[in-house]
Structure 1
Amino acid sequence: MADYDYDLFTIGAGSGGVRASRVSAAHGAKVAIAEEFRVGGTCVIRGCVPKKMLVYGAHFAEDLEDCQKFGWEIGDAKFDWIKLRDNVLADVDRLEGAYTDTLESHEVDIFKERARITGDHEITLESGKTVTAKHILIATGAHPRMPECQGADLAISSNDAFHLDELPKKIIIAGGGYIANEFAGIFNEFGTKVTIVNRGDQILRGYDESVRDRLLQISMTKGIQFRFNTVFEYIKECPDGGYFVKLSDCEEEHVDLVMFAVGRVPNTKDLGLDSVGVELGDNGEVKVDEFSKTNVDYIYAVGDVTDRVQLTPIAIREGQAFADSVFGDREPYAVDHGCIPSAVFSHPPIASVGMTEGEAKNTLGGVKVYQSDFRPMKNVLAGRNERSLFKMVCDAADDRIVGIHMIAPEAPEMMQAAAIAVKAGLTKADFDATTAIHPTMAEELVLMR
């Protein structure tokens, strides 16, 4: 290793890159990391962390309404978007500092500039400095996909939503995935008139049909409009402010803002990967094996840039496994990408783990499905008719639980523990034998029939 400047050079200081660099350094490696934007990556700077803070802020809209049935008198409540925005961005600054401190405390050299691979084991920084490394890790993440239509450059992405100077009165959000539905719920609770436009015929493809249909019903009840099988024809600036938008299924309309949330593209452009022959996939993703190694023996990749599973906890696990396997005193190991729990922080949120009912039928043949469709106690007293749904999918052959899906307040908090049970291969009988905690929504997990 003395022949190189570093044992490891990581390009990208997001969740996966930071974890891999920190752990590699803890194993004794000499490590450097380069980040052209901000330390922390998508999740910390412009993704799940600040978005969850906006979700918390949005929940107060309903809480302030519901609390009156619980005896509270609030008076004239007002919402200040700028105050929330600035507080969220300030906390993002704090988190960036914490991530930076973590790297520095492990003696990782940080280069706050763009880096490219320019030769065998060679990295050139934007400043012109050239270094060498025995191992190179690509952890550059992904960026929002911006579709092609006339005026597409006038739309914002989810990255821009955290920096708005004012809330739009009317917004069109393109997309049917979790980002589109999450921001639709956020803007709607803040008083914006929201329309989701989807070129397909369903939202949240990949989630169980029952829970996604329930979210659609609830979202429409809350006032969010949906247009399916629809595409943009053009977006034009309006001289008086806002934009004229023409969709394929309706007349031109005026909106204050258009946001695209139609997927994410791996950040592999101009990294110099072609100069050393790293193989890329059809979406520009870095192709890797189960140990996150590319076809070039000393180059690895983790996280969204591989387009395997674009979730922060997966990037962290992949970064940990890489560091332990390459620099740790143990046998190499791979991350299990099966049975991954996930959540959509919509209003109300969705949480899921394992197979959907349709996937289970196609894979296993015989399945048993158990459900609980109920109105949470808080909603009953508040006079809110919104109903929650829990669903359990079991293999008919051995009673093993192969999937749990729910839409309910705090569903992601409940799902974390339930996911352990599914991962461990527990059965419906194991749940039935567990005493319920009453009164809770979570007790429905052991009471489903």
Structure 2
Amino acid sequence: MRCAVIGGGPAGRAAAMELAALENEVTLIEKNSIGGTCLNEGCMVVCGLNDVARLLNDAGRLRDLGVLDIDFTPDYPRIAGGVKDVLNKIRHVTEGETREAGVEIIYAEAMVEDGRVIAGDDEIQYDRLIIASGAGPMIPPLDGAENAITYRDILNIPELPEKLVIIGGGVIAAEFAFIFSSFGSEVTVVSRSGFLHDLDPVIRVYVTDKLLDDVNILEDTPTLRMDEFGAETSRGYIEGLPLLATGLKPNSEFLEGFVELGRGGAVLVNDRMETSRKNVYAAGEVTGGPGTTPIARLQGSVAGLNAAGIERRIDYRHIPRSISLGYDVGFIDNRDIDGVEATIPGLAGPGSFWGVPEGKTGLTRVKLAEDGGEASVYSVAPGARIGIAYLSLLMRLGISLYDFDRFIETHPSTDAVYKIMRFLSRY
């Protein structure tokens, strides 16, 4: 069967590799670089910069505690250049893995028609089509918005900004606020509504008070206009390089009239990732939703398998999420749980030992349904995203959290989730 996949990000690659593994003829069309936003502009960029930010924070803490005699000045162009070099290596490996899986890659802009995709000088006939064209930064209709940068420009800033004004109140805003405040910029976050308003209130307070304590956060503050030197807000003018972190917009303009689009241009799909057009599927950020890499991969896999004739339905239960700050903020948020809850400080251990004098060892919080079958888990700790992922698996397998009375942890560990689980399992 001939299959075409538009978009080489996590969703598109997952779909393409599922189809190729089932011995289908697969052509992947990518407009820019393999790996999509995650590798080239998003997750991996944050990882590279965050590693340096954490190192600088740790060095400063040890210096202040008198443990080390050290002085340092971050050189942002060198940091950004180093991140670019590593991304190039990862991109090369990613492309090689995709081709070795049996996927043909064409770098071109795609135009879709019924039964074929026009990609530059190539015409690809298909029996099944997967649309995974991703999303780009959403630019709000503000006067002077063209003067602001977005996450796409982060690695091309010529020098570290003395002051940075981040417009937005979500995960992207929080992660760049931590990074640049750690580098030494004076950072102000301007949020039209509440900052990280979807996060559990107790965890949100910890994040703002402990992990972003050097950041000036203005909530319920609309931005009125921008220029290249700052932003005019409802509280006055704030000086600094403006960075827009106002969400994502699906890359779906080329699909108008081809498949049904919903709010904000998101491609409408069912739980098999089928669009309104027969034999055409969609996955990843182009379908709207949370826009995380694991969900994009999951959607891509489901789309690819269904396109190959193998029945799969998407399951969004107990999805693990994370935010990269001084510590990982990992969580599984199941709303409307009525039961018991507990909150305890994080543990001293690898990555958090020297945070004890400042009371910055993290935080763990669990809400548990009375029958033990549903829970919301929040962990702020070094490596929290790893433990949260395995908890997600246990929940998706239907394992009761009361089974944690048999859990044996590795030691030393900085994640206190197991302590709360064992306590609540005997509640």
What residue is the counterpart of 1:283 in the other structure?
264
For the residue of structure 1 that corresponds to 2:271, the secondary structure is coil
What residue is the counterpart of 2:215 in the other structure?
224
For the residue of structure 2 that corresponds to 1:419, the secondary structure is helix
Q: How many correspondences in the alignment?
A: 420
2:403 is the counterpart of 1:419: no
TM-score by structure 1 length?
A: 0.87
Q: Is the 8 A contact 2:379 2:415 kept in 1?
A: no
Query: Match for 2:117 among 116, 123, 144?
Result: 123
Listed as ranges, the matches of 1:354-393 within 5 Å are 354-356=333-335, 359-360=336-337, 366-374=338-346, 376=348, 378-379=352-353, 383-393=357-367
2:79 is the counterpart of 1:84: yes
1:16, 1:160 → 2: CA distance?
A: 23
What residue is the counterpart of 2:373 in the other structure?
400
2:416 is the counterpart of 1:432: no
Residue type of the alignment partner of 1:333: R
2:181 is the counterpart of 1:188: yes
**Aligned-pair CA distance for 1:395:** 1.0
What residue is the counterpart of 1:132 in the other structure?
125
Listed as ranges, the matches of 1:210-359 within 5 Å are 210-219=202-211, 222-237=213-228, 243-250=229-236, 252-255=237-240, 257-269=241-253, 271-274=254-257, 276=258, 278-327=259-308, 331-356=310-335, 359=336
2:34, 2:252 → 1: CA distance?
A: 18
1:164, 1:51 → 2: CA distance?
A: 15
Residue type of the alignment partner of 2:119: L
2:24 is the counterpart of 1:29: yes
What residue is the counterpart of 1:49 in the other structure?
44
Unaligned runs of 5+ in 1: 2-6, 238-242, 361-365
2:346, 2:23 → 1: CA distance?
A: 54
1:68, 1:340 → 2: CA distance?
A: 39
2:399, 2:281 → 1: CA distance?
A: 35
Q: Is the 8 A contact 1:403 1:422 kept in 2?
A: no
2:282, 2:173 → 1: CA distance?
A: 27
**Aligned-pair CA distance for 1:444:** 4.8
1:342, 1:232 → 2: CA distance?
A: 28
What residue is the counterpart of 2:158 in the other structure?
165
2:327, 2:100 → 1: CA distance?
A: 40
Q: Is the 8 A contact 1:287 1:294 kept in 2?
A: yes
Listed as ranges, the matches of 1:67-82 within 5 Å are 67-68=62-63, 72-82=67-77
Residue type of the alignment partner of 1:409: P
2:395 is the counterpart of 1:410: no
Unaligned runs of 5+ in 2: none
Q: Is the 8 A contact 2:364 2:415 kept in 1?
A: no
**Aligned-pair CA distance for 1:52:** 0.9
Q: Is the 8 A contact 2:111 2:117 kept in 1?
A: yes
CA gap of 1:36–1:438, structure 2 versus 1, over 3 A, is: closer
2:408, 2:114 → 1: CA distance?
A: 60
CA gap of 1:374–1:20, structure 2 versus 1, over 3 A, is: closer
2:363, 2:401 → 1: CA distance?
A: 17
TM-score by structure 2 length?
A: 0.92
1:395, 1:32 → 2: CA distance?
A: 46
CA gap of 1:376–1:272, structure 2 versus 1, over 3 A, is: same
* RMSD, matched Cα: 2.2
| Cα deviation 1:382-419 (Å, max 9, x = unaligned) | 632325221111112x1334211122333213322232
Q: Is the 8 A contact 1:379 1:385 kept in 2?
A: no
2:227, 2:333 → 1: CA distance?
A: 43
Q: Is the 8 A contact 2:178 2:326 kept in 1?
A: yes
Greater mean alpha carbon deviation, residues 44-53 or residues 95-104:
95-104
For the residue of structure 2 that corresponds to 1:414, the secondary structure is helix
Residue type of the alignment partner of 1:120: D
What residue is the counterpart of 1:104 in the other structure?
99
Q: Is the 8 A contact 2:163 2:187 kept in 1?
A: yes
